[in-house]
Structure 1
Amino acid sequence: MSEKDTKTKSHHTMKTVSIVLIWLLAFYAALLIVKNHEKPQNPSATPSRLVIEPVKHKRHNWRDVSVDPCQNFFKAVCGKYNEHSLFNGVSLSRNTKIVANVIKEHLYKDLSSSSKSENAIKIIFDKCEATKRMNQTLLALNENGEILKMIKQVGSWPMMTKTWNESEFDLNDMMSNMAKFGSTTFGFFEVLFKPALMFFVDVSSMITTNTKKLEKDIVEILRVNSISFDVKSIREDVRSIAKLVKDMRDLSLSAPIKGNASGNGIDRMQESVPSIDFERITKHLFNPKRKDVVWEKLKTKFDSPGDMSYFSNKNRNIETLLKSTSKRTLANYLIYVFMRHLNSLTVYKPIGRNQDYCAEFVMNQFPLAALRVYVRNHYDKENLELASEMVEEIRENLIETFMQSTWLHENTRMRAIRKAELMKKVIGYPPEFEVPGALDSFFESVTFSETDSYFTTFKKADKLYKEQYFDYHSGFLSIEPDIVFVKSGAHYRPWENRLTLQIPFIDDPYFDSTYPKYAKIAGIGEVIGHEMGHGFDTEGRKLDENGGKNDWWTLEDSAEYDRKTQCLIDQYNNYDDPDFGKNLNGSKTVAEMAADLIGISVSWKTYNKVDFSKEPSIFGFEDEKPDKLFFHITALVILNV
């Protein structure tokens, strides 16, 4: 027999054996499935091993049995984490990375969709990826050309137009056009829209008075676009701009802003500076379809510092400065401010960035659309309902804790209960986004085209992002368009009295619909209680149920609270940490310690109400006492947070 025939026969034999083995394994698996289907499973046997596998793995492998937990609990529970974890970092980061990878995979696929939000992020992503391959010099030239086109849409630029006439200038027209492009800086005031409140503030300190820098910026854009100009005229205009900025700066310095002073609402500001139509300008930052409604909801939130002569001085303020400055200088100044705004966006070019830059950019710009992709296509939505139910159980036990307090007086007790009852919650992903087209309605005001350049696409995305933030502040969006919702974790917003659990956090390994109830509570109950506890920590207790500053504590209760927190500080300061020694400062961490104490107390109270006779046990830990199990599982989660 030839060598070739021998090899052929050998291959046939191996192939036959492999097929037989695969067939036998398949047959055996089928028998197991039939057997398990016919015979009900013992809730304390196989199912428990399946549903709690991640916790079982961590409890077995991460603990260091050589360490006495009474001496070093952290090391006893988690001492071998680095030896048995393939991920370089905590699980919170791991879950965030998983979500990001799923979204990136979706963006890389050429999938058609009827969703405007999904199509928008896909166009932006594709445009970003294509721009990566462009020549950097050519890209910069194209951007300068587009910047000039946008400047022309804002208003007539005296430096560029030799025959410029003052009749062409209208202060509020130019500022309104700037707002249409998403600029929130208008030379004489700025609109701040995140995270909590919005103010009209002085922006003169943001503009340079360096005439050489001013001239360089202006001349560059003119030269790149082959626009002829007179150097002498440019320099005269630059000096006029610098003088205007200096005059504004002098106004600010004449009466420095005090810490928390406020008091000039929109009506007072409009009365002080009648030349600027604040309402008209600001409305152009909103979604055009609902700008009037948004304005009505937000106008009472606009403010400026009450002691600021920049607006309120009766003899010399922005109004007197506007009246005494030539229209040519005002037009040149506003165009320069707008040009600075556009130039600030050019730094986001994808050329030379890392491989994931475009996907990360899309997630940062439109986190709610990215979140929708993940939840609708990859997430176990049953977790949302179960997590929401757990929040209510934790809330009930927090209220019960207040009811059972032996030191709170009745008035303080009832106010604390009211704040807990009215605490808002966002569980990962608002249910209203499940309605077809619900999120898409927040993407209708801007049309993204595949023929647009990257810079134009980015500018449209920037404007839409700001519209969505104002929609959030006015109540049209239930959560803000913030990248935090795509990351793993939980947080509490004291000024809103709102608890939020983010999607990657209410997922394996912390939480899953298949876990026993006690494992869910021990897994994330302390974190939920901790975040709720921030509503009653050393700072949170000073805010009421609506998030407003309001001291609702009786003098006696407030004094007792301070005494108890001092006990926490003293205990922390005197703790001899096995790794860091006696080198801790409780005064800096007292708010977190107060939240921790509340969190672990209400989680423990909730855990002890579970009927363990109806719950499966963890494989390998059937005989372990529930109290020990609680603290071990909780410690594992805290390790990863």
Structure 2
Amino acid sequence: MSEKDITTKSHHPMKTITIVFIWIFALYAALLIVKNHEKPQPPSTPSRPALEPVKHKGVCKSPECITLAHQLHNWRDVSVDPCQNFFKAVCGKYNEHSLLNHAHLHRNTKLVANVIKEHLHKDLSSSSKSENAMKIFFDKCEATNRMNLTQVDLNEKQEILKMIKQVGSWPMLNKSWNESEFDLNGKNGVIKKIKQIYSAPISKFDVNVSNMTTTDTEELEKDIVEILKVNNVLFDLKSIQEDVRSIAKLANDIAELHSAEAQRNAWERGIHKMQDSVPSIDFERITKNLFNPKRQDVVWEKLKTKFISPADMPYFSNKTKNIETVLRNTPRRTLANYLIYIFIRNLNERASEKTMKQGSCDALVMNIFPLAALRVYVRNHYDKENLELASEMVEEIRENLIETFMQSTWLHETTRMRAIRKAELMKKVIGYPPEFEVPGALDNFFESVTFSDTESYFTTYNKALKLLQEQYSDYHSGFLSIAPDIRYVSSGAHYRPWENSLTMQIPLIDDPYFDSTYPEYARIASIGEVIGHEMGHGFDTTGRKRDENGEKYDWWTPEDSAEYDRKTQCLIDQYNNYDDPDFGKNLNGSKTVAEMAADLIGISVSLKTYNKVDFSKEPSIFGFEDEKPDKLFFHITALNWCRARDTTPLATQLTLDHPTSSFRVNGVFSNMKSFAEAFNCPVGSPMNPKKKCELF
């Protein structure tokens, strides 16, 4: 892209920096550089030409580049020696320029949320079914939040009874209930009707078991009585109490079959054994009701071998007493009441979840309608030119990861070739499927549920969750190219080990982290480490135990596995001894080792990719025209982890899988010889320790 293209490129409405501001800032930054520029380092050796300053092709003057320059200049603390504390040298004044409580990498998560919130508050007409579903849900949520909570509770109890009546006849409610009409899972069976109204994500078949205590029994009795009273239904309290005792006995009978030890270990693909063990329940029929009605059979054929079920657990395989014998020996009245009890319990849990989130209807919308929210953001606020550039960068990072394995001095050939194959076959998803650009494409996945202005919020809420389940099923069966996952509208990337797939989320491949106007080296330095990190999860302490298809398989030679563990122990020890500015020497490297391994892989392959750029063909970053490229790499990469003082309680921090932001700069960078060479750090200084950790 030419300098002219960079300067004149059009931008979306969120990029409103004026020309006057740009040049005022430019003048100020130039003066700042003259005053505060680092002292020149001794000349580098001829073997490291990248250390030398480069004559760039002009200066990037786009608003995005000006923002990047602002961050590089204004967040740094030039009084800090980079060899002593690089995190503080780069981020020391970050808190003077940001109100964000998290690392800078999460900035766009909040920004996208604000954009969606603004969209929802606007009274806009749309022909999009997905957008209209979001808007109806949001408006009902907001209206409910304005209601008296007592009235909301009364309304929900009325809705629960309506839903129960849709399921079928409830023995507690119907004095003339006839057990001969009870059908567990036939065409009009109770379970089928429950699943048509209520569904939850399902990827494995299990029995959710727990004993019903006296308190549980009393609470169930209270809930039932309240539902009946609110709906002006006459009832016999003694009959209800007797039914509740029968429900508790059935729940406790099932709980007695449970084996926690077996549950942890015995799982297998498919449900055929479980179906043979429990013929009274038609698992196929039940499961199909979780799918879009228009493609139930096709989805089932694609997914039936992907479900996992208990292999040899007592509540299925015990010869004398198991789920099947319990079902056959339990009166039908009790079975019917038990299913309605589970139905009520789950609906109450949803009501509690909904109530807890009151006051943040926009956040709830993004959780339940993430793909609709993503479409709104991309269509109205996103530079789609970034998509292709990000896709190309993933391939470049992949090539350098493969090169890393090829150059490893300790991997045996069999392990090396399996690692290369896994990297080659790693799938990628770049944030926003191109097919969503076709009008109505996303709406096809909203066709099974109709949202109405006349329905209650409680009904709309349950419909929305059922739709979410259908979309997950469509994703797993290949009809939907990305999952309806809230992460797609948050800033970052993620790796799915069971699929061996990398996903780049849209908010990450947007400014200020990534932009089509950035020089290529700036794009790599900014998010190359993030891409490499997520790819690195395929080779971290847990990811390395899965193959190229995501299946659990140990493809390492015993010698390589032992050497890998020795190398990651170095990271554990390093983190345990790290003196964090917010937590001191109180951290647990065993908890964070997988993330630290991914960090080390990520920064290494990102730097490999960065060093292959022809800097003479790229514009400079304003104020860094004479900066050595290798220094600039570490400066830009570190920006992602800038944050104000971390106020997370230590007890909470010790439960987190990720290391602290400070360590992700100082700890990781100190393991790299290239950092010490770039900044000429003395051996033994904090950023150039004698002992360094490395992986491949």
Matched, 1:328 2:333: yes
Q: CA deviation at 1:133?
A: 3.0
Q: Deviations over 1:230-280 (max 9, x none)?
A: 222222212211111111111225x75353222484111111111111111
Q: 1:439 to 1:579 in 2, by over 3 A?
A: closer
Which residue in the other structure is 1:145 paired with? 158
**Aligned to 1:592, which of 570, 574, 595?**
595
Q: What residue is the counterpart of 1:268 in the other structure?
A: 273
2:469 corresponds to 1:463? no
- 1:226 is aligned to 2:229: no
Contact 2:106 2:492 in 1 (8 A): no
Q: 1:207 to 1:296 in 2, by over 3 A?
A: farther
Instruction: Identify if the C-alpha distance between structure 1 residues 64 and 134 changes in structure 2 by more than 3 Å, giving closer, same or farther.
Output: closer
Question: Which of these residues, 55, 71, 76, is aligned with residue 68 of structure 2?
Answer: 55
> What is the CA distance between 1:78 and its match in structure 2?
1.3
Q: What code does the residue aligned with 1:107 have?
A: L
Is the Cα–Cα contact under 8 Å of residues 63 and 78 in structure 1 kept in the other structure? yes
User: Is residue 576–residue 585 contact of structure 2 (8 Å, CA) maintained in 1?
Assistant: yes
Aligned: 1:175 with 2:191: yes
- Paired with 1:249 and 1:592, the residues of 2 have a C-alpha distance of 38
Asked if the contact 2:120–2:138 (Cα under 8 Å) also holds between the matched residues in 1, the reply is: yes
SS of the residue aligned with 1:491? strand
Q: Does 1:497 align with 2:504?
A: no
Is the CA contact (8 Å cut-off) linking 2:60 and 2:621 kept in structure 1? no
Q: Is the 8 A contact 2:524 2:610 kept in 1?
A: yes
Q: Which residue of 2 aligns with 1:626?
A: 629
Q: What does residue range 599-610 of structure 1 map to in structure 2 within 5 Å?
A: 599-610=602-613
Q: Report the TM-score when normalising by structure 1.
A: 0.87
Give the AA of the match of 1:375. Answer: V
Report if the CA contact (8 A) 1:371-1:485 is conserved: yes
Letter of the 2:544 partner, please give it.
Answer: R
Give 1 or 2: higher helix fraction. 1
Corresponding residue number in structure 2 for 1:6: none
1:211–1:430 distance in 2 versus 1, CA, 3 Å? same
Equivalence map 1:271-420=2 (5 Å): 271-348=276-353, 353-354=358-359, 357-420=360-423
Cα deviations by residue, 1:481-534 (Å, 9 ceiling, x for unpaired): 111111111121111111112111111111111110111111111111111111
Which sections of structure 2, spanning at least 5 residues, go unmatched? Answer: 1-18, 24-54, 644-660, 662-696
Correspondence for 1:424 among 398, 422, 427? 427
TM-score (norm 2): 0.80
Cα drift, residue 639 of structure 1: 2.5
The one of 215, 231, 256 equivalent to 1:250 is: 256
CA contact (8 A) 2:271 2:304 kept: yes
CA contact (8 A) 2:105 2:641 kept: no
Deviation for aligned residue 1:208: 5.4
- The residue identity in structure 1 corresponding to 2:545 is K
Which residue identity does 1:453 align to in structure 2? Answer: S
8 A Cα contact 1:211 1:239, kept in partner: yes
More displaced 10-residue stretch of structure 1: 408-417 or 515-524: 408-417
The 5 A counterparts of 1:134-213 are: 134-172=147-185, 173-184=189-200, 193=202, 198-205=203-210, 210-213=216-219
Structure 1 partner of 2:510: 507
Q: How far is 1:135 from its partner?
A: 3.8
Equivalent position SS for 1:232: helix
Q: What secondary structure does 2:321 align onto?
A: coil
Task: Evaluate the alpha carbon distance shift between residue 49 and residue 70 of structure 1 in structure 2; reply closer, same or farther with a 3 A threshold.
Answer: farther
Give, in whole Å, the separation in 2 of the partners of 1:152 and 1:587: 52
Are residue 236 (structure 1) and residue 242 (structure 2) matched?
Answer: yes
What does 1:20-35 correspond to in 2, within 5 Å? none
Let me know the Cα RMSD of the aligned residues: 2.4
Query: Mean alpha-carbon deviation: is it higher for 309-318 or for 77-86?
Result: 77-86
- Distance 1:308-1:579 versus aligned 2 partners, 3 A rule: closer
Secondary structure, counterpart of 1:504 in structure 2: coil
Does residue 1:91 correspond to 2:127, yes or no? no
Deviation at 1:409, TM superposition (A): 2.2
C-alpha separation in 2, matches of 1:133 and 1:352: 13
Aligned-partner Cα distance in 2 for 1:243–1:225:
28
Choose the corresponding residue for 2:639, options 613, 631, 636.
636
Residue aligned with 1:304, SS: strand
| 1:67–1:429 Cα change, 3 Å | same
4+ aligned runs moved over 6 Å, structure 1: none
Distance 1:86 1:459, change over 3 A: closer
Q: Which amino acid aligns with 1:558?
A: S
Cα separation, 2, equivalents of 1:577 and 1:390: 33
Partner of 1:67: 80
- Distance, in Å, in 2 between the alignment partners of 1:360 and 1:447 is 22
TM-aligned CA distance change 1:557 to 1:226, over 3 Å: same
Q: Which has the higher contact order (CA 8 A, sep 6+)?
A: 2
Q: What SS is found at the alignment partner of 2:60?
A: helix
